[in-house]
Structures are given as C-alpha cells and as structure tokens.
Amino acid sequence: MTVPSRTARPWAYLSVLGAGTLWGTSGPFSVALFQMGLPPESVALLRTAVGGAFLGLFLLVLNPRGFKHSGRTLLWMAGAGGLIVGVFQLSFQMSTKAIGVPSTVALLYLAPAFVVATSPFVLGERLSIGRATLAAVSVVGVALTVAGSGGADVPLTVGGVVWGILCGVTYGSYTMFGRILSPRHGPLAPLFFSTAGGVAVLGLAFVLLGIRPILPATPAAWGVVTLFGLTTIAMAAILLFYALRALDAGRAAIGTTIEPFVAALLAITLLGESVAPHGWLGLALLVVGVSGAYSLGAPRPTDAGRSG
C-alpha cells in the first residue's frame, strides 16, 4: 500500500470535514420530505436510488473501467456493501422520524467507537491509547447529546434509539468497507456498487414485507429528493472515500463527528428542535474528538493491515 504524502493529509482532513458537513444536512432533508407526505421507508429507497444514479454517472465519466470486476469482487461490493447501505439508509430514516435529528445523528456517531474497537481485528490497525481515549470521548458526547435532545414533539423511544444504534453500527461497518476496498479499487466503484446493492436490498425487503414505496407528488418534492441524493450520498461519500486513502479508518470515522454539530444547528434553526445545555456539552465533546483526532499522528499498521 502506498504511503500517503504529508501534503495529502491536510486535504484528506478537509475532505472528512466536508463529508461530515454535507451529512449534517441529512436530517433536515429527511424531515422536509416527511412533511411532504413521504414515509421514512420511501425516503430511504429514493435517497439511495438517486444517489446511486449520480455515483453511476460519475463512475461512467471518470473511470469507465470501474464497472468491470470479478464476480467475487462484485459480490463483496454489491452484496456485503449493499446490505450495509440498505440497513443504514432505512435505520437512519426510521430513527429520524421517531426521535428527531440531533438524537439520531448523535447515535449514528457511536460508529467511531465501533470502528476503533474492531479495526485492530478487521483492518490490522494498531489501537493506541490516544485513539481509544478519543473513542471514549465520542461515546460520552453521544450519550449527553441524546439525553439533552428532543422534547415534547420528539420524545425518546426505545424503538427510535435502537434504530439510531443500528445507524452507528452500519455506518462504522461502511467506513471499514471503504478502507478495505478503496485503496485497491478506488472510491467510485465500491461506492456505486454498494449503493446499487443497497437499492436492491431495500427493494427486496419491501417486496417481502409488502411495503409499497410512495413517490414524490410534486416537482418540489422531486427536487428535494434529487438534491438529497446528490449531496449526501454521492458528494459526501466520495469525499470520505478519497480521504480514506490517506487516513486510517478510526481517525476518519472520529473526524466526521462534526456532523452531529452541524445537524443540531440545522435542526434548531430550521426545524425548531431543541438541545439542552448538557446536550451542547455532548456536542462539544464530539468537536473535541474531531480536533484531537487531527492532532494525533497516524498509527503504523500491523502486517495484517497492509494490502501489498
């Protein structure tokens, strides 16, 4: 695996921040579509389908050879990756509908702890005290943010919290998915095939469960869906996957925890949701996690983590 230059790392950090900021707009997009009459299941499918279409277009223009892979590689990209994407997209929408934007996005950021805890076994990345500490800080921040978010209009429910935790686990899994595949195949091909696989997984699940997707009823709703898929699926994911070529998975996952801060600000200013003082403390801890992750040097991978 080629070692990234020092000059590549600042751009990778900016890419992570950009991805987190774009993802921070996901909650307001979802709520806007809920208010337009679309249920969370339909929003999950439409967002993934539109984002996948943009990724396919980018792949066709930038790297047409990216469509050609062995059957085994496609199985990993569209099969395993598609399952992760499908579950993530559905759980995010269900949690957002149930417990609101700040709580959902905070629970999603249990992902850094999940990545840091599992990457030594999956990716061969050495676990340092600093990284473990940052992961713990992120978990504390998540707990405080969830406890301090919501209100009478969006009370915490067990079901919503479970959906949010599932967001975190699948998001962390997708970060490692990108870390494994993007150095070898580039970012676009894994992104496209996993997103396309996610559409297939959601479609199959809807057929088996008897769920009939509802399409947007107005041009404005279609416009929101299109912008939603373009920015939060295609553009944000490309930024993160390119960053993962220069950063280890644990640091990239912690770095994108700027997203809950952005999401909370948008939820308060655009949606009228609230965050209590201890919730703001939780968000501050997440921001500390971002800054701390940037200040640490990259850990050396173990032999198991090198890809030739």
124: Cβ contacts below 8 Å, ≥ 6 apart:
301, 302, 303, 304, 305, 306
Residue 32 pLDDT > 70, yes or no? yes
Angle at 264 between CA 263 and CA 270, to 5 degrees: 85
Instruction: Find the mean pLDDT for residues 59-67.
Output: 89
Instruction: Please tell me the distance from the alpha carbon of residue 32 to that of residue 221, in angstroms, as a whole number.
Output: 9
Residue 195 pLDDT > 60, yes or no? yes
Please report which confidence band the pLDDT of residue 229 belongs to, taking 50, 70 and 90 as the band edges.
very high
**pLDDT, tens digit, 9 for 90 and up, residues 122-153:** 777 777 788 788 878 888 888 888 888 866 56
Residue 219 near residue 101 (C-beta atoms within 8 A) = no
Please report which confidence band the pLDDT of residue 284 belongs to, taking 50, 70 and 90 as the band edges.
confident
Most confident of 140-144, 186-190, 225-229, 274-278: 225-229
| Predicted local confidence at residue 303, as pLDDT | 31
Instruction: Find the mean pLDDT for residues 249-276.
Output: 79
Instruction: Find the mean pLDDT for residues 179-198.
Output: 87
Instruction: Find the mean pLDDT for residues 279-292.
Output: 78
| Predicted local confidence at residue 2, as pLDDT | 45
